[in-house]
Structure 1
Amino acid sequence: MADLLTEQIDALEKQRNEKYILKGASPGLASDSRQEGDQEKAKLPKGVVLGPDGKPCRTCTSISDWRALTKMKSSAVSSSSNPAAKTTPVQETNNTSASSSSIPDDCPADVETLGRNTWTLLHTMTANYPKTAPPQLQNEMQSFLSLFSKLYPCWICADDFRTWMNNPSGQNKPRVKGRAEFGNWMCEAHNEVNRKLGKKEFDCSKWEERWRTGWKDGRCD
C-alpha cells in the first residue's frame, strides 16, 4: 500500500511541478528553477517529494522514503569523509527502510500519518455538524474548506483536493446545508483519494455509524 501511495504522490508531483515551483516566476527564473528542481529530484530516492522551496518535503513523504533519504545523505557524508568507504545504493537503502515504516508518536508526521489524522478531524466535523445548518455556518464551512485546500501541509494533496472540489461540472462542490449531505460529501471526497491510492472504498451509507453514532454491534459503546 505504501508503494501505491508513493506512485500516486510521484505522479501528482510530476503533473503539478510547474504550478508549485514556477508560479509567479519570470521565464528565465522559471527555467532555472525547473532545472534545479529536476537536478535535485534526480538525486533523491523514489517517493521523496520536493516542496515549494525545492527542498524535500517531509510532510509530503512517507516515513520509509524519508528514512531512505536520511540514510542516503549519511552515506554520502561518510563517503566524502572516507573515500574508501562503500556508498550504499539508493535502491538498497529503499528496500531496507521499507521494512521499517512505523513512526514514533513524538516525531514529525509523515504524509500517511498526516492523512489519517486529517480524515479523522474532517469526518468528526461532519458528524458534529447540525442536522440543518444556518446560512452563516454554511458560509463559514465553505470558507474553511476553501482555505483548507490551500493550506494543507502536503502541497500535492492540497492541490489534488482543490482540483477535485473545483471540478468544472460542479458535482464535487461542498454540500454543507446539513449533516446528512455534508457527511456523504466528505465520504465521497475520502473515497476519491482511496480510489487513487488503490484502497478499498468505504460504504458511504455507513458513514454515521463509523464517525457519529458508533457501530450497531456495540463495539464502540
Structure 2
Amino acid sequence: MPSHEEEDKPCRACTDFKTWAKQQKPKKITISPPNEPSLQKRKDCPLDKNELGRSTWGFLHSMASYYPEKPTTSQSQDMAKFFNIFAQFYPCEPCALDFQEDIKKHPPKTKSREELAKWLCERHNTVNVKLGKPVFDCSKVHERWLDGWSDGSCD
C-alpha cells in the first residue's frame, strides 16, 4: 500500500506538465556557459496528461477506423470488453473514472466500423466539451483517421 506521501504525489499522467513542474520541489539551477545549450524538456520524458490524452485518442480513433466493417460476434464482444478494461486501467485516474461513468451511460457500440467510430467520436466530443475544446464533426472520422483529408493534404 502506498504511503501517505506517495498518495499525495501528483501523477504526471494526471497533471499537465506546467502544473506538475510547479508542484515539484525547487532544484538547484545551474547557468550554462554561453557555448553550452540550456536545459530544455527532454523528448523522452513520461507523457503528461495532455500528451497521454492526444496519443490515446489517436490510437483509439485509428483502432475504430480499422475495425472490421462487419465484425464477427466474437470481435464485437471483444471490442466492447476492450473499452471496459481500458477504462479500468487508464493511467490518469480522474480521466479513467470519468470515462467509466460515460460508458456506463453509453455502452460501446461494436456491431460495425461505422457504429464504433461514431460512438467513439461522441465519447471524445463529450470530453472535449468538458475541457472547453471544440467538438469534432463525427462525419469526418474516417477522413481524419483512415483515408486522409479529401483535399489530398495527407498524400
When the two structures are superposed, what TM-score results if normalisation uses the length of structure 2? 0.85
- Asked whether 1:112 is paired with 2:64, we answer no
State the shift of 1:104 in Å.
Answer: 3.5
State the shift of 1:103 in Å.
Answer: 5.2
1:54 to 8, 16, 21: 8
Q: Which residue identity is paired with 2:60?
A: L
Match of 2:136 in 1: 202
Give the root-mean-square deviation of aligned CA atoms: 2.1
- Structure 1: gaps spanning 5 or more residues: 1-32, 41-50, 79-101
Match of 2:64 in 1: 126
Identity, % of aligned pairs? 44
**Shift >2 Å, 4+ stretches:** 102-105
Aligned positions of 1:83-102 closer than 5 A: none
CA–CA separation in structure 1 for the residues paired with 2:68 and 2:123:
20
CA–CA separation in structure 2 for the residues paired with 1:117 and 1:137:
24
What is the aligned residue count?
143
Aligned positions of 1:7-86 closer than 5 A: 53-70=7-24, 73-74=25-26
CA–CA separation in structure 1 for the residues paired with 2:20 and 2:58:
24
Q: 1:62, 1:112 within 8 Å by CA — same for their partners in 2?
A: yes
CA–CA separation in structure 2 for the residues paired with 1:154 and 1:219:
34
Larger Rg: 1
CA–CA separation in structure 2 for the residues paired with 1:105 and 1:126:
28
Match of 2:103 in 1: 165
Please state whether the residue corresponding to 2:135 is helix, strand or coil: coil
Bigger RCO of structures 1 and 2 (CA < 8 A, at least 6 apart):
2
Structure 1 pair 148–67 and aligned structure 2 pair: CA distance change class (3 A): same
State the shift of 1:74 in Å.
Answer: 1.6
- Structure 2: gaps spanning 5 or more residues: 29-39
CA–CA separation in structure 2 for the residues paired with 1:129 and 1:103:
36
Please state whether the residue corresponding to 1:202 is helix, strand or coil: coil
Q: 1:174, 1:182 within 8 Å by CA — same for their partners in 2?
A: yes
When the two structures are superposed, what TM-score results if normalisation uses the length of structure 1? 0.61
